[in-house]
Amino acid sequence: MTPQEMMESIRQGSSGPGAIESSDMDRLKYIVFRIGDKPYALPAEDVQEIMLDMTIHYLPFLPDFIRGLVNRLGEPYTLVDLQSLFTRHPLEGRVFLILKPHISKMAFNISAVQDIAPALPEHLRRLSAMTGTHESFLSGILDHKGEEVHLLSLDAVLDAVREALHA
Amino acid sequence: MTTTKAAVSFPIRWKILISSLILLIPLSITAFFLVGSYRDQMNFAVSELNGSRLIRAVIPILTALSPWAEEGPGGPEEELINAAVETLRQEIEELQTALNILPEVLSKAELDPQLPARLSSAWLLARKAPFEKKSAALAAYGSDLTDFTIFIADSSNLSLDPDLDSYSSMSAAILTLPDTIRRMEVIRAGLERYGRDRSVESLRSLQTEAAFLTRLDLAAVGKAIKTSVWSDPLSYGATTGMPDPSKELAAFSQALSTLSSSLMALGAPQGPPAAAVAAQWSAARESTVAMQAKAQTIMDLQIQKRLDHFSRQLIFILLLSGMTVLAALFVILRITKGISRSLERISRLAGEIAEGRASGPSVKSSESGPSGPSGGFSRRISIDSNDEVGKLGAIFNKLLEMLEDMIKRIDGNAKDISEMVQGLSASSQEISATANEQAAAVKEIVSTIEDANHLSKNISGRVEEVSRIATDTKKNVEEGFGAVQSNIGKMSEINEANTKTISGINFLGDKIKNIWDIVNIINNIADQTRIIAFNAELEASSAGEAGKNFQIVASEIRRLADSTVNSTNEIKTRIQEIERSSDSLLLSSEQGTELIQQGKALSTQMSKLFSDISASADISSSSTQQIALSIRQQVSSFEQIVIAIKQISQGVDNFVMATRATSATTENLRHMAATLNELMKRFEGGESK
């Protein structure tokens, strides 16, 4: 879409090739991202911001999946390496998902953001089989453009972090 | 012993000398008389020459004197006359010199073989200096020569004896007569002229002639002729048969005197008439001619008498020499007969001994005397003479004694020689066998050496060929070395080009890295833009309905970012492909460089190898040349060895032949010894008889 077409679409509101259907706004959006080569998804409403190439301030005496702290607008956020949490293999990713502060001041280190896609309820389904040792951190499966994407349970992750920090 | 008595006791050389002297006497006498006769003939010829020369010389001078006598000294002809006289004087001196040689030559000549030549030289010298030229110049001046002739003849002292003087005078006088006849003709012409013109000049001319006739000393001419006739000390022919010129002389004198007087008186008032003068002239001319004829006859007779005298002289000489030669021969024969008789006896005895009649009866001499013992060398000859033949006989007897003694000793030595020869024969046979073996061995050596020499020559040829090939190889190596060097140069150039390519590729790589950095930057920007787009969508979704338009923008931005990422990914892909190609190219270039380096190293190594090969080829070539030289020297040495061996072989062969000859000689010696023994037995048997 050219800028002119985009502006025209905005001006027209509902028409045009990039028009967002109102129904789209009613769908729950998920941020589909990858950790390594596995796709995961989080509700978009839980993510504050996506950052790129943030400086990691490492902290000692912490579990492996807690890499350290990152500085977002002067506020420290705990950086969690989900791959290390899931597989105990560290991830050196460039992309950081910053959760909304009211959820937790936490950031996830991921490989890349794939999409922000709305998902209809029929696209969601429960976990059908155990897919490894980290299914406790998953809340379901999302069909995204023919691909099964694991929905990440934010609560489980947060609990694991808290538990690790208090340990 | 045979004895003889010699007839003469003088030594033979005396006898030969006496015989030679006896033979020489007639020869000397002959030579003496021959020389004397020849001298006489020469003198005669000289006098003849003197007279004719002088007369021919003086006639023109005297001809010139006539006007000088009339005009006195200082006349125009004086110079010519003086010159002619001077010439005559010189020629007379030359003639004097020539004739002076003759007495000296003749006095020394007896058996001088050079005599005829020397006399001939004197003769030629005497005939020098022709007078004719001067006489022709002076002939026009008349002649008056009688006194002058006699003067010249007397003053020149030309003769050896009075007879020659008179003969010269005679011949001089006789030679005046033709001139007188000529004057007669002049007078006749003058008379005719006077008869015609009766001029004073004609008369003067006639009187001039008359004056000449007056001055002509007819008495002296007659005396000269008469003297020559009757003064003949050697009796050439005496005066018998010699014509008497008195009558002619008297008529000649009378006629000339009469004519002269008449001519002088001619033209005078009382003078004779011209006709009478003419008649007198005629008579004078006739008498002159008659005188001349008579004188010439006398002269010819003189010459003939002299020639006859010389002939008689020669005959006498030959007869005398013949008789004396015969007498000498008779005496010589008598003397030599005695000598030859003795020699004959000696010869006969020697012949009998030589024929081996040692055992025969004794040979008695023809003369009486005791006969000696018969047989062997005991015979002797006796000659009672003190000359050389007698001595020869004594020596012959001594010789016979020596021979007798020698034969006895030879007999003894012959027996010894025979024994020794037998031993020598055996030794020489052994030596001959050994020499044969050595000769065979040497021949084998020669054959072997020749084979070795032939082999060496083959080797030499092969080595020469190898040397030639080594030289060619060296040449090829040098060419190869040059090619390798050229190859190294080209490889260096390729290496440089490759290095440039590599540097270009590296430069390209650097540029690709720069592009890659830019692409990464763009990609980062695209990622950030995408992240911003995602954040925008998050904010838009958080904004609810109010963020709907913002969401559109965010979606577009995200799409743009995705498009940028896709483009950058594509660019990355292309860049990766370029990188791969560049890497591949670089790898290839590096591999090529490595290969070039390897090739260069190989070329360098090859160059070094070629250099080594070239050095080896040099060494090989020089070595082969040295080998060839050594082989040639060896061949030369072998040839010399072959020559030496052949010489040794030849020497051995000669030695073999010599030993064979020695064997043959010893065999011959053995036969000779046997023969000697037999001869000795014969002589011993004769003595025993």
So what's the pLDDT on residue A10?
A: 67
Tell me how far apart the alpha carbons of residues B252 and B242 are, in angstroms, rounded to a whole number: 19
CA–CA gap between residue B495 and residue A59 (Å, rounded): 57
* B545 contact residues in A (CB cutoff 8 A): 25
Contact B195/B274 with Cβ under 8 angstroms? yes
Strands A47-52 and A95-99: antiparallel
Helices (H) and strands (E) in chain B, counts: 12, 2
* Position B656 pLDDT exceeds 90: no
Q: What is the mean pLDDT of residues B293-318?
A: 73
CB contact under 8 A, B555 and A20: yes
Mean pLDDT for chain B?
73
Question: Does residue B445 surpass a pLDDT of 70?
Answer: yes
DSSP labels, B537-560: HHHHHHHGGGGHHHHHHHHHHHHH
Determine which of A6, A32, A48 to mutate to test the interface with B (most B C-beta atoms within 10 Å): A6
* Range B540-548 contact pairs with CB under 8 angstroms and sequence separation of 24 or more: B541/A25, B541/A29, B541/A44, B541/A45, B541/A116, B542/A45, B544/A25, B545/A25, B548/A13, B548/A20, B548/A25
Q: Place A76 in a pLDDT band, splitting at 50, 70 and 90.
A: very high
B126 pLDDT exceeds 60?
no
Strands A47-52 and A66-72: unpaired
Of all residues in chain B, the one with the smallest CA distance to A95 is B531
ipTM value, please give it. Answer: 0.86
What does the block give as tokens for A84?
């290390």
Q: Higher-confidence residue: B121 or B625?
A: B625
Q: What crossing angle do the helices spanning B218-230 and B146-155 adopt, rounded to 10°?
A: 50
Pick the closest to residue A71 from A107, A36, A104 (CA basis): A107
Task: Report the pLDDT value the prediction gives residue B682, as an integer from 0 to 100.
Answer: 67
More confident residue, B340 or B120: B340
- Residue B240 confidence class, pLDDT cut points 50, 70, 90: low
DSSP A50: E
Predicted TM-score of the model (pTM): 0.36
- Distance from C-alpha of B141 to C-alpha of A110, rounded to nearest angstrom: 187
Question: How far is Cα B127 from Cα B115, in angstroms, rounded to an integer?
Answer: 18
Task: Please identify which residue in the block is written with the tokens 């892909």.
Answer: B573
* Residue whose entry in the numeric block shows the structure tokens 């000669």: B654
Q: In 3-state terms, chain B is what percent helix, strand and coil (to 5)?
A: 85, 0, 10
Query: What does the pLDDT average to over B267-294?
Result: 84
Contact criterion met (CB < 8 Å) for A44 and B553: no
Q: What is the pLDDT of residue B371?
A: 42
Give the SS3 label for residue B85: helix
B636, pLDDT greater than 70: yes
B552 touches chain A (CB under 8 A): yes
Confidence class of residue B403 from pLDDT cuts 50, 70 and 90? Answer: confident
Say if CB B266 and CB B275 are below 8 A apart.
no
pLDDT of residue B547: 83
What are the residues facing A29 on neighbouring strands? Answer: A118
Q: Locate B682 and state its tokens.
A: 């014969």
Q: For chain B, give the percent of residues with pLDDT over 90.
A: 0
Q: A74-88, B108-122, B367-381, B563-577 — which is least confidently predicted?
A: B108-122
* pLDDT bucket at B121, cuts 50 / 70 / 90: very low
Residue from B262, B264, B266, B226 nearest B243 by CA: B226
**Angstrom distance (rounded) from CA B401 to CA B394:** 11
What is the rounded CA–CA span in Å between residue B27 and residue B186?
59
Joined together, the tokens standing for residue A38 give 């596995």
Report yes or no: A52 at the B interface, CB cutoff 8 Å: yes
Residues of chain B with C-beta less than 8 angstroms from the C-beta of A51: 531
Give the distance from CA B173 to its chain's centroid.
Answer: 61
Residue A116 at interface with chain B, using a CB cutoff of 8 Å: yes
φ and ψ at residue B455, rounded to 5 degrees: -60, -45
Question: For B191-224, how does the pLDDT look when each residue is reduced to its tens digit (9 = 90+)?
Answer: 888 888 888 888 888 887 777 777 665 666 666 6
Distance CA B462, CA B144 (A): 118
pLDDT of B90: 66
Burial of B64 (0-12, 13-18, 19+ CB in 10 A): buried
Provide the shortest C-alpha distance from residue B541 to chain A (in Å).
7
Question: Cβ(B233)–Cβ(B159) under 8 Å?
Answer: no
Closest CA to A33 of A112, A138, A124: A112
Q: Helix/strand/coil (H, E, C) string of B458-473? A: HHHHHHHHHHHHHHHH
SS (H, E, C) B556-597: HHHHHHHHHHHHHHHHHHHHHHHHHHHHHHHHHHHHHHHHHH
CA distance B500 to chain A (A): 41
- Residues of chain A neighbouring B555 (CB-CB closer than 8 A): 18, 20
Mean pLDDT within B587-601: 82
Any CB–CB contact under 8 A between B538 and chain A?
A: yes
Residue of A nearest to B537 (CA): A116
Burial label, B33 (beta-carbon count in 10 A; 0-12, 13-18, 19+) = middle
Q: Out of A6, A45, A52, name the one closest to residue B531 (CB).
A: A52
Residue B118's identity, in one-letter code, is R
Q: Angle at which helices B218-230 and B274-354 pack, to 10 degrees?
A: 30
State the Cα torsion B102-B103-B106-B109 to the nearest 10°: -110
Residue bearing the bigger pLDDT, B169 or B265 = B265
Q: What is the Cα–Cα distance from A150 to B221, expressed in whole angstroms?
A: 209
Most confident of A47-61, B516-530, B551-565, B566-580: A47-61
pLDDT for position A122: 80
Asked if the Cβ–Cβ distance from A9 to B552 is below 8 Å, we say yes
* b/e map B439-475, b = 16+ CB within 10 Å: beebeebbeebbeebeebbeebeebbebbeebbebbe
> Which of A99, A116, A145 is the best mutation test for B, with the most CBs of B within 10 A?
A116
Most confident of A39-43, B174-178, B299-303: A39-43
B527/A contact by beta carbon, under 8 A: yes
- pLDDT tens digits, residue range B484-517? 889 888 988 988 888 898 888 889 888 988 988 8
pLDDT reported for residue B684 = 58
Quick one: pLDDT at residue B312?
81
Under the banding of pLDDT at 50, 70 and 90, the label for residue A83 is very high
Residue B181 has pLDDT above 70, yes or no: yes
CA distance B208 to B70: 9
B560 contact A CB<8A:
no
The DSSP secondary-structure symbol of B156 reads T
Distance of alpha carbon B360 from alpha carbon B374, whole angstroms:
7
- Look at residue B171 and tell me whether its pLDDT is greater than 60: no
In chain B, residues with a C-beta closer than 8 Å to the C-beta of A52 are 527-528, 531
